[in-house]
């Protein structure tokens, strides 16, 4: 089975630029950033509630606790919010007054003001990548981008596996993209 494309920095910028011109830009950008900067699956993103992401004071939490019922593995896990992701989520929250919604309300709303399903969010991601002209990208591209970036930043495999919510290291390893430039850089490190 062919894996989802891992976007380059330039391709991610292109997608975000396209998203910025669209209706629902703030929501779509927040969804993409949860995928790319937290490595969340579309089903996990779709299941987020306001209370999962925001404190009772309306501030973005330092970590989002995913309930076992919303994860693929059926096990709860913590998603840590980086500074970059925090800024993105704060922008979304301010733009759409998300903190005014009840804690149990969906964090991301469809055009019809209902919760996304994993399938509808998957379709949205596919559409966004297609509009940006990026072939081979799917709802899993952000997750693969996240895992690959961590691996190439020197983060230990065990930490990546835990952040991704994988039970087996071999699963995590399948997500890591390797390209010629990375191989060249590795060889250059030799004395």
Q: How many CA atoms lie within 13 A of 31 on its CB side?
A: 34
- Beta carbons of 109 and 13 less than 8 angstroms apart: no
**Residues 19, 107 within the same domain:** yes
Asked, for residue 2, whether it belongs to a domain, the answer is: no
Per the structure, the count of domains in the chain is 2
* 3 in any annotated domain: no
Please state the rounded mean pLDDT for residues 86-97: 95
Residue with tokens 């840590």: 80
pLDDT for 190 equals 85
84: in domain = yes
| Domain identity same for 29 and 89 | yes
Burial environment of residue 150 by CB neighbours within 10 A (0 to 12, 13 to 18, 19 or more) = buried
What is the full DSSP assignment across 88-130?
Answer: HHHHHHHHHTGGGS-TTSBSSB-TTSSBPPHHHHHHHHHHHHH
Residue 1, domain member (yes or no) = no
Same domain, 115 and 149: no
Q: What is the CATH number of the domain that holds 73?
A: 1.10.443.10
Span 71-88, mean pLDDT?
A: 95
The residue that leads in pLDDT, 89 or 188, is 89
Range of the domain at 110: 9-136
Q: Which residue bears the tokens 């297609």? A: 130
Same domain, 181 and 119: no
Of 93, 119, 136, the residue that ends a domain is: 136
Residue 181 has pLDDT above 80, yes or no: no
Residue 4 within a domain: no
36 in the same domain as 82: yes
* Same domain for 57 and 126: yes
Global pTM value: 0.90
164 and 114 part of one domain: no
Band the pLDDT of 1: cuts 50, 70, 90.
low
DSSP SS3 for 7 = coil
């Amino acid at each position: 089975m062919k894996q989802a494309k891992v976007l380059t920095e330039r391709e991610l910028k292109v997608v975000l630029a396209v998203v910025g011109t669209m209706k629902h830009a703030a929501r779509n950008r927040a969804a993409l950033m949860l995928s790319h900067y937290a490595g969340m699956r579309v089903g996990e993103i779709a299941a987020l509630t306001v209370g999962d992401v925001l404190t009772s004071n309306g501030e973005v939490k330092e970590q989002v606790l995913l309930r076992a019922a919303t994860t693929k593995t059926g096990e709860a896990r913590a998603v840590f919010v980086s500074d970059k992701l925090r800024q993105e989520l704060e922008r979304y929250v301010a733009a759409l007054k998300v903190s005014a919604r009840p804690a149990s309300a969906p964090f991301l709303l469809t055009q019809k003001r209902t919760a996304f399903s994993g399938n509808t969010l998957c379709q949205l991601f596919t559409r966004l990548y297609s509009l940006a002209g990026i072939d081979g990208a799917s709802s899993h591209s952000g997750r693969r981008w996240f895992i690959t970036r961590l691996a190439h930043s020197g983060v230990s495999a065990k930490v990546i596996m835990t952040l991704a919510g994988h039970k087996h290291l071999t699963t995590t390893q399948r997500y890591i993209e390797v390209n010629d430039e990375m191989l060249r850089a590795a060889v250059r490190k030799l004395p």
